[in-house]
Amino acid sequence: MPGPLIEMLRRVGLFAELDDSDLQVIADAMREQTFPAGAVITVEGTVSDGFFVIGTGEAAVSVRDEARGTMGPGDCFGEIALLMGAERTATVTAIDDLICFALYSQDFQAIVEGSPAIAWALVQSMTQRLE
Domain boundaries, given as residue ranges, for the chain: 4-130
Q: Is the pLDDT score of 1 beyond 80? A: no
What is the model's pLDDT at position 82?
A: 77
Identify the pLDDT of residue 83: 75
**Residue 130 pLDDT:** 63
Q: How many CA atoms lie within 13 A of 73 on its CB side?
A: 8
**Which pLDDT belongs to residue 24?**
94
pLDDT of residue 2: 60
CA distances (Å), origin 124, targets 17, 28, 66, 127: 7, 22, 35, 5
What pTM does this model have? 0.87
For the segment 104-116, what is each residue's pLDDT rounded down to a tens digit? 989 999 999 999 8
Q: Is the pLDDT of residue 124 over 60?
A: yes
The answer, yes or no, to whether residue 58 has pLDDT greater than 70, is yes
Say which residues have a Cβ less than 8 Å from residue 4's Cβ, sequence separation at least 6. Answer: 55
Q: Looking at domain 4-130, what is its CATH homologous superfamily?
A: Jelly Rolls (2.60.120.10)
More confident residue, 130 or 50: 50
Least confident of 26-30, 98-102, 118-122: 118-122
